[in-house]
Structure 1
Amino acid sequence: MNFVLYFALICELFYDIRSENRYGSRANQIVDYINNLNTTWKASTIPNFQSWDYDLIKKLMGVNLNATTSKLFNMEVQYHDQDKIQLPDEFDSRIQWPDCPTLHEVRDQGACGSCWAFGAVEAMSDRICISSNGAVNAHISAEDLLTCCDNCGFGCDGGQPQLAWAYYRSNGIVTGGQFGSNQGCLPYEIPHCDHHTTGIYKPCSKVVDTPKCVTHCESSYNRTYKDDKNFAKKIYYVPFDPKQIQSEIMQYGPVEAIMIVFEDFLQYKSGVYKHVTGDLVGGHAVKIIGWGVQDNTSYWLSVNSWNQDWGQKGFFKILRGTNECGIEAEIYAGLPNTEKQMASRNRDNVFNKINYEFIGPGNDPLNHKEEIQSDNFIQQPFESQIEKHLLTLEEFHQNNVA
C-alpha cells in the first residue's frame, strides 16, 4: 500500500475515534429531545459541553460512587424529631439568613475533579456564618482541602465528601477565596474556565494536576496558617429521608449532597430537573440550600460548581421526594466550632486595638501571631491574658517610646 495512502487512512481512523469521543453531537440530540418533551425542565438552547471529550467530562465528576457510604467511615447519623419541626412548603437559605454572603456565591472548580471539596467547603462556609448569627464570615478554602487532605482521595482526580468533613473536624481548614481574588489565607489556584459554553473565560482543555499542599498563608494575609484554621466540633450523615434533610437545612444551613450525573443534566437550563435521557457520566457533589414547589413539582434548590454560566446562574432545581439521581441518599454536614473562631478573632481585634493605642499602627512587639497558640489562649481566662499583654506593652512603651 502507498505510504501516503496508508498514513491518510490512519489519520482518518484517528479522527473518527476522536469524533466518537466528542460529546457535541450527543449534546444537540439531547437538547432537541428534552425541549420537545412535555417534561418539568428545559435544556439550554445552545448545547453545553459541545467541544468536550467524554473523558474530560467524566473527570469533572470527582466522586467515586462505589465508596459513597457513611457506614464505610463509621459516620454518626443526625436525627431530627419531626414532631417538633414544622416544615414550610418553601425554604431558601439565602432569604432565611440574608447576612451570610457565601449563600449567594457560585464557585468554579475549574478543570479539576474537585466537586467533592467544593460541596463541602461551600456548606462549611455558610454554616459558620449561620451559626455565629452573621458575626463570622469565613470563606473556607477549597484549595486547602483539595491539596492537603491526603486521605480524602486523589485531589483533582476525585475524592470522598465524607473524608472531607472528617478532615475539617480533625485538621481544620483555612480560609481562601476564588481564583484571582487574593482573599483569605489560600485562594483557589486553578483558573475559572468555560466548562460548557462560550463565555467570559478560556475553554477548559484538560484536567489539571493537583496543586501542591502549602501550609503557609499568602504574604498579604494578616494571619498565620495555624491561626486561620476553622474546625468542626461535630460531623455527621443526614438520614435518607426528605423530611430529615429539610429539617437539617432549616435548622443549621446548607448540606453537601452526592448525585449521579447523566448526560442530560449537563444541558440543564431551567425548571425542575429529572433524568430523562442519556448515559451515566459519574458521581458529583453539590450543595443543597433549600426546597420548594414549581408547577406542582417538588424540588430541591441546589448549587453547582461550574460557574454562573451554567443552569440558572449556577443554581438548579432537582426533583424532591423520589431520590432523583440518588441526591437524597448521601447527605453530609457538620456543626462548626464558631466559639473558638469568635474567641480567636476577638483576641486579634483586642490586641490590635491595644497595640494601636500604645505604639501606633504597624508595630507588634510581641509578634503574637507567631508565638501565641490559639488553643492555649482560649483555655486561659480572658482577663488574665489581656492583663499580661498590657504589662508587656507597657514595658515596651517605657523602654522604647518614653
Structure 2
Amino acid sequence: MLLKMDFLFAFTVFAMVMTVVEGQTTEDDWRMNKKKFNKNYFIPADNGKLDRIHKQIFIKRNEQIKLHNSNPFANYRREVTLFSDMLLEEFQKFLGVNKNAIPPHTKQAVSLKPDGSDITDPDVPSRLDYRFDPCLPDIKNQNRCRASWAFSATTPIEFALCKLNKNISVTLSEQQLIDCDRGGLNKGCYGGFPMTAIESTMLTGIARESRYSYKKTGGQCKYVANMKAASVELCNYIEGGSIVDMKYALTKLGPISATMTVTDSFADYGSGVYDSNDCDGQDPNHAVVIVGWGNQNGMDYWIGRNSWGPLWGEEGYFLIQQGVNKCGIETYPVFVKLS
C-alpha cells in the first residue's frame, strides 16, 4: 500500500513538473517568435489583450507545425515564419490577388513554337532551374502591400531584358505598376492581377527600380516616357494545365508569371515539395513566378519564386507539386516576350 502511494505521489509530481515545463516551453516559443520577428503587441490601454490574441494564434499554429513535421512521410516541412501569429486580415496584406481582379475572360492562347506545331516532350529538358541564373534578380519583399501581382509581372520582364542585354542584370519598378496601372482591375496595394499589369507595360513601357523605387504603399503616378527601360512585345496565357507548354515557355523564354491560392500551411512553408490539399479548388489570392522544375523522391515539382524576402522558405523560393494544378498554380501561367 505504501509503495502504491509512493508511486502515485511520484507520478503526480512528475505530471506537475511536465505541465510547468510545457508551459515554459510555450512561453519560450512565444518570446522567441516575437524577438526573431521584432514584434511587440503590448498596448498599455488594452491590458495585454492584443498580445494574448496573437499568442493564441501562434500556439495553435506552432502545434500544427510540430504535428505536421512529426510525420515521417511528409513531402515538405513547415516552420514558424513571420506569418505564424497573424490575424487573417494582417496576413492578407502580404498577398495581392483577389477574385475581383481576375479578368472576366482569358486570351486565346497562341502557339509558342515558331512553326505552329505541337510541343512534345523532346522539346524540353528533364529539369530546369533559373534560381542561380545571373539574369534572375535577388528575391524581393513586397512587405505589407497587396502587390504580389506587380512582383509577379516584373520578374519575367527583368529576365528577358537581361538576356537581350547579354546577361547584364536589371531590376524594374513594381512601384510604377502600383501607382500607374489603375485604369482597370489593378488597385495598387489593394490587389491586382499580373496579366493586366504586363499588358500595361506594352502600352507605356516600364522604368528601372533605380528611377522609380519601391515605397511599400501606393502613391501618385510619377512615370514619364523617358524613364522607359523595357517594352513588352507579346504576353499571353499558356494553355491551362498544359505542363509541356509551360516547360517549353520556361525553356525558350524564361520565368513565367503565375497565380495560386495561399493558405496557412503555405505561409509556414520551410522546405521540400509542397503538396497540401487545403489550397485546392479555391480562387487565387497570390501571385508568384515559376522559375523551373524538377523531381524529388519521385514527385515532379515546379520551382516557385515568392516576394516575401529571402528569409522565407528556401531563401525566398519554394517547390510545389507539378501536374495536378496544386493550389491552382497551373491555371493562369503567363509568358512574356520583349521587342
Matches within 5 A, 1:105-124: 105-124=138-157
**Partner deviation per Cα, 1:138-157 (whole Å, 9 max, x = no partner):** 31111111111113411011
Q: How does 1:265-304 map to 2 (within 5 A)?
A: 265-276=266-277, 283-304=285-306
Asked whether 1:59 is paired with 2:93, we answer yes
Q: Say if 1:17 and 1:314 are closer, same or farther in 2 by CA, change over 3 A.
A: closer
Residue 395 of structure 1 aligns with which residue? Answer: none
Letter matched to residue 140 of structure 2: R
Residue in structure 2 matching 1:149, options 181, 184, 193: 181
Please state how far the C-alpha of 1:162 moved relative to its aligned partner: 1.6
Mapping of 1:1-400 within 5 angstroms? 15=49, 19=53, 23-37=57-71, 38-44=73-79, 46-65=80-99, 67-69=101-103, 72=105, 74=107, 76-80=109-113, 81-83=118-120, 85-94=122-131, 98-100=133-135, 103-134=136-167, 137-151=169-183, 152-176=185-209, 184-190=210-216, 209-215=217-223, 225-240=225-240, 241-276=242-277, 283-337=285-339
What's the offset of the Cα at 1:253?
0.1
Hey, what's the Cα distance between the residues in 1 that align with 2:147 and 2:63?
A: 29
Instruction: Indicate the SS of the match to 1:157.
Output: coil
Aligned to 1:388: none
- Give 2:176's aligned amino acid: D
Render the CA deviation track for 1:193-246: whole Å, top value 9, x for unaligned. xxxxxxxxxxxxxxxx42222135xxxxxxxx5253421111111111111100
Quickly say closer, same or farther: Cα 1:68–1:26, change in 2 above 3 A.
farther
C-alpha distance in 1 between matches for 2:82 and 2:74: 19
The superposition leaves residues 224-280 of structure 1 with CA deviations (integer Å, 9 ceiling, x where unpaired) of x52534211111111111111000000000001100011100111110011255897
CA drift of 1:62 comes to 0.9
CA distance in 1 between counterparts of 2:62 and 2:334 reads 35
Superposition RMSD on alpha carbons, in Å? Answer: 2.9
Tell me if structure 2 keeps the 8 A contact 1:63–1:158. Answer: yes
1:22/1:170 Cα in 2 relative to 1: closer, same or farther (>3 Å)? farther
**CA offset digits 1:104-158 (Å, max 9, x no partner):** 5100001101100001101110111124442x54311111111111134110110
Distance (whole Å) between structure 1 residues aligned to residue 198 and residue 313 of structure 2: 27
Q: 1:83–1:313: structure 2 CA closer, same or farther, 3 Å change rule?
A: closer
| Cα distance in 2 for residues equivalent to 1:171 and 1:288 | 25
Aligned length: 287
State how far apart, in whole Å, the 1-side matches of 2:76 and 2:283 are. 19
**CA distance, structure 1, for counterparts of residue 57 and residue 335 of structure 2:** 34
Deviation at 1:22, TM superposition (A): 6.7
Which whole-Å deviations, capped at 9, do the CAs of 1:351-397 have from their partners, x for residues lacking one? xxxxxxxxxxxxxxxxxxxxxxxxxxxxxxxxxxxxxxxxxxxxxxx
Deviations 1:20-65 (A, max 9, x none): 8974233213212220222110111x35423422101023221023
1:144 is paired with a residue whose SS is helix
What is the TM-score normalised by the length of structure 2?
Answer: 0.76
In the aligned structure 1, how far is the partner of 2:95 from the partner of 2:131?
26
Give 5+ residue unaligned stretches, structure 2: 1-45
- Partner of 1:140, secondary structure, is coil
8 A contact 1:57–1:281 mirrored in 2: no
SS in 2 for 1:313: coil
Give yes or no for contact 2:262–2:279 (8 Å, CA) kept in 1. no
Q: Which runs of 5+ in 1 are unaligned?
A: 1-10, 177-183, 191-208, 217-224, 338-402
Distance 2:51 2:160 in 1: 47
Structure ID, larger Rg: 1
Structure 1 residues 47, 305: CA separation in 2 closer, same or farther (over 3 Å shift)? closer
CA distance in 2, matches of 1:16, 1:49: 16
1:316-362 CA distance string (max 9 Å, x none): 1000111000001111121112xxxxxxxxxxxxxxxxxxxxxxxxx
Q: Which residue of 2 aligns with 1:391?
A: none
Q: Which amino acid aligns with 1:57?
A: F
The sequence identity of aligned pairs, in percent, is 26
Q: Are the equivalent residues in 2 in contact too, given 1:263–1:281 (CA < 8 A)?
A: no
| CA deviation after TM superposition for structure 1 residue 83, in Å | 3.7
* Distance in 1 separating the partners of 2:327 and 2:236: 21
Deviation at 1:85, TM superposition (A): 4.4
